[in-house]
Structure 1
Amino acid sequence: MASTSEGVDSSISPGLLEDLKRLLWGRSLTDEVFLRWTQGFVLSADEPTALLQYEGGPCAVIVPVQAFLLRFALFTEENEAVEKWREHSDETAKDLLCQSLSAILLQTTATSYTVVYSDHSFTEMQEQDGPQESGGEEDVQRSPKRRKLCHDQFHLNLRCQQCDSREQLVNLVQSNLEKFQGDFGVLYYLYSLLLTKGVDQIKNEMEDPSEPLIDSTHGHGSQSLINLLLTGKAVSHVFDNEKDVAGMKLHGVSRQSQIGFLTQLEHLRYCEVGFNLKSPSLPVWVLGSETHLTVLFTQDLSLVAPESPEDTARRIFKSFDPEGNGFISSCLLGDVLHSLSLVSDQGYVDIMKGKLDSEGLGIIVLSAFMEEFYPGNSQQQGPKTFTVFHYNGLKRSNSTHKVQYKKGTATILEHGIPLVTEYTDVTTCLQTKWPTISIEWSGNDVPSLN
């Protein structure tokens, strides 16, 4: 039985374990889905700070951790760019991984933290049931007997330790890093996250707590799980704050995140990502396709400069237009003006209503609102050209079959200039934030979102 100065380890009670399994996997857990998630946080031999992903599914955990790892690899604690960031040693990369794992746990709560692991040797059990396939860093072959054993024995042998301070948590993560990098490391960390946050608190933040965090058919992580890792809250939506839809209050992301999130689903008009995720405090974005997550990042901090007055106005206006119609009811004009700290006394509001809704339709269009209150204030924010990198943790999704960052030069054209570019899944995703962006990838090696 393991113990550290941070506290003596303990087992997880059967009742709590059942609650965890139900929250994470739903009513049934298949061997196939569980097997997809049995991997550790393994660093690439071809890119010291890049994590490998073996099969579809665990990107919902691996990619947010990768994004935080890049945050620490690219920038100092004072948010200054790190020179020669691709030349980190293997030991430094492990330290960065520890920082990332700790940071995600720290943002979920300010009280106590839990680290989950097992003190049972699954390797020994595997060798008793059949020889382990030997291979390199991406060898994920497992004997059929071990596959059946994993599901039952894994949960029976889980242990946990608690601590009450940041320093203790960092030490605890450091002392368990080898386990986090082993066969079940992603799952150990995922259970650590759920216990640190608390099952009841996660359910309170989710829109539908009966829906598992991991899809029982394909093993994909839900948006609630992704948001929990990125923001510390397991809300089910990507818009800002709250929305009232048909009398139902829906909860989104309540504050600006360190790591951003953009999704191809917005391009397909299934959702709209709010400012808090779309404009993070650091220029690192998780990119979502319909089935996979990747990361786009840069060291150009001007891309996350403070929000312009025009952008603020658009965001506030859209918050009163939850269905994304491009207009608001004219009766809401006063509320919009008040939220923007503009003149909002009733006499002035009535005059503006008459001007902006001259035909008496009862609506005010966004473009007319912007032209009236922010005329000529559409100067482009941020650089026109900047260097970006893209990460995809699946070897099979990289043209070289190596997990390495792909470099590109991004260009943002002035608004109103026609965009002539070859549309790719990456650019269509990025255009949900920068509508006129195009990217020229080094060696014409276009990365994939899948």
Structure 2
Amino acid sequence: MAETLPSAIEQELLGIKHLLWGNEIKLDIFKRWSQGFYFSSNEKSALEQTEGGPCAIIAPVEAFIIKSLLLEYKDLSFRDSINLEIQNRVLVTALCEILGQCNARKYYIVYLDSDNSEPISEAEVTGPSIQSINTVQAVDPAKFHEKLKVHSFQCLDDVNKYYMENTSNLKAQYGILLFLYTVIASKGLERVKADSDTQDPLIDETYGYGSQSLINLFITGRATTYVWDHYEDVGGLKLKGIEKQSQIGFITVMEYHRYCTVGSFYKNPMHPVWVVASDTHLTVIFSDERKLVSPETKSEQARRVFKSFDPHGNNFISSDKLQDVLKNLDLVSELEYVNIMKKKLDNENLGIILLNAFMDEFFPKEESSTPDMFTLGHYNGLARSNINGHVQYHVGSAILLESDIKSVCESNPMLTVLQTKWPNIEVNWCDNITPSLN
């Protein structure tokens, strides 16, 4: 049973409002976030985004939808099977998965008073009419916040049932904002604040994009500010990153530009689906090749550990880091042995140890869990960023080259971001058109 909460508890919504928007809500930004969960008429499992901004919610939800469909169908054949019933089911499943990761004691479902939540028919929320949905009601931030109400549910099964009975509200004008408030209310305002290492609003006050804390909250259930594994010491401060391997992954072009370091938990998720960040937008890449998320081989683990001591990607480490690398890999790390290995691996006494020399010594027969060739799909929810202006998945054939030398092409941000995960990847996209990250 849903329990309508007393006004004292609903007061927390004021704190959520401030956490998201800061001291003032800009009308143009609020309007861009005022859309429902709409499915494309061209790609019936793909959510459509009308304006820039809410991709911080839409892309993770789409990633969970794709993950669910790949588990069910095993390949991309689901593209031909989607109907309204499946759309509703996978959308609600994705939302409940995201809520479930918040480890909430209760689930607080935020909704609008009925006089401000006119249902939209199912026909109106798919297809060409999507562009007109934002005109169904005038966007009014003050009225929106005045009309917010909260139901409480004890378990996710009850949430699932409620959402399945109210899918029209998810697809109505404020569907995405209501789910955003629901996630933070269920997680708990203070817990979200504690996870984040910043005082800035979760929605940028100038440009209207979602912060990394918001993206992390929707992917992992924790609103951490950083994307590395566990904690990093930065200037004497221990800064919190990703806690454990995530269901879906995250990669970003910002890592190529060395603005951040994405850890193994995000690069190697449980399912072959990754949210992808450009400098302005979030999209999704995915594959039906389960071996892309197979457990690491010993040699893959060794490369990862070695590179964790090589943050600038130079393919060498300082000789004095060798003992730490060996220790992390549970190899012999007594000082006498380490000194012998230093002389052998750095026979010119340059003070560095090359990755290839290290691997040849300790893992001469390298094994890979990753296939050399696999199919990649890409999703971009903005119609204007898709071929012919229609939201649909773009598919390519990926190959991992044997060479350690990767091609750098500044004019191809898609390849650039994929190489942060697979350094030697090349992709032949359908129709020779590289999809847009923006």
Q: Same fold (TM over 0.5)?
A: yes
- Secondary structure of 2:296 counterpart: coil
Residue aligning to 1:442? 430
Structure 1: distance between partners of 2:370 and 2:189: 41
Residue aligning to 2:379? 391
Asked whether the 8 Å contact 2:104–2:186 carries over to 1, the reply is no
Taking a change above 3 Å as real, the CA distance of residues 337 and 417 of structure 1, as seen in their structure-2 partners, is: closer
Of residues 287-296 and 262-271 in structure 1, the stretch that sits farther from structure 2 once superposed is 262-271
Q: What is the TM-score of this pair, normalised by structure 1?
A: 0.88
Of 396, 404, 408, 1:408 maps to 396
Structure 2: distance between partners of 1:279 and 1:384: 17
Structure 1 vs Structure 2 CA RMSD: 2.5
Of 171, 176, 179, 1:186 maps to 176
Shift of 1:324: 5.6
Asked whether the 8 Å contact 2:225–2:241 carries over to 1, the reply is yes
**Does 2:146 correspond to 1:146?**
no
Structure 2: distance between partners of 1:301 and 1:266: 25
The aligned length equals 428
Larger proportion of helix: 2
Shift of 1:348: 1.7
Structure 1: distance between partners of 2:103 and 2:11: 23
Shift of 1:34: 0.7
Asked whether the 8 Å contact 1:243–1:322 carries over to 2, the reply is no
Q: Which runs of 5 or more structure 1 residues have no equivalent in the other structure?
A: 125-134
Residue aligning to 1:427? 415
Asked whether the 8 Å contact 1:356–1:368 carries over to 2, the reply is yes
Shift of 1:204: 1.3
Letter in 2 for 1:441: W
Q: Percent identity?
A: 44
Q: Which runs of 5 or more structure 2 residues have no equivalent in the other structure?
A: 119-127
Asked whether the 8 Å contact 2:10–2:149 carries over to 1, the reply is no
Structure 2: distance between partners of 1:25 and 1:39: 17
Letter in 2 for 1:292: H
Q: What is the TM-score of this pair, normalised by structure 2?
A: 0.90
Letter in 2 for 1:253: I
Q: Which runs of 4+ in 1 moved over 6 A?
A: none
Of 24, 29, 34, 2:30 maps to 34
Shift of 1:137: 1.7
Taking a change above 3 Å as real, the CA distance of residues 407 and 322 of structure 1, as seen in their structure-2 partners, is: closer
Shift of 1:301: 0.7
Shift of 1:431: 1.3
**What is the 5 A alignment of 1:42-121?**
42-76=38-72, 81=74, 84-86=77-79, 87-121=81-115
Structure 2: distance between partners of 1:62 and 1:345: 51
Of 218, 233, 236, 1:229 maps to 218
Shift of 1:181: 1.0
Shift of 1:388: 1.8
> C-alpha offsets along residues 126-146 of structure 1, whole Å, 9 cap, x if unaligned?
xxxxxxxxx712225549x93
Asked whether the 8 Å contact 1:43–1:52 carries over to 2, the reply is yes
Taking a change above 3 Å as real, the CA distance of residues 10 and 398 of structure 1, as seen in their structure-2 partners, is: farther
**What is the 5 A alignment of 1:26-425?**
26-76=22-72, 81=74, 84-86=77-79, 87-122=81-116, 136-142=129-135, 146-147=138-139, 150-208=140-198, 210-321=199-310, 327-358=316-347, 364-377=353-366, 379-416=367-404, 424-425=412-413
Residue aligning to 1:127? none
Taking a change above 3 Å as real, the CA distance of residues 368 and 36 of structure 1, as seen in their structure-2 partners, is: same
Asked whether the 8 Å contact 1:380–1:414 carries over to 2, the reply is no
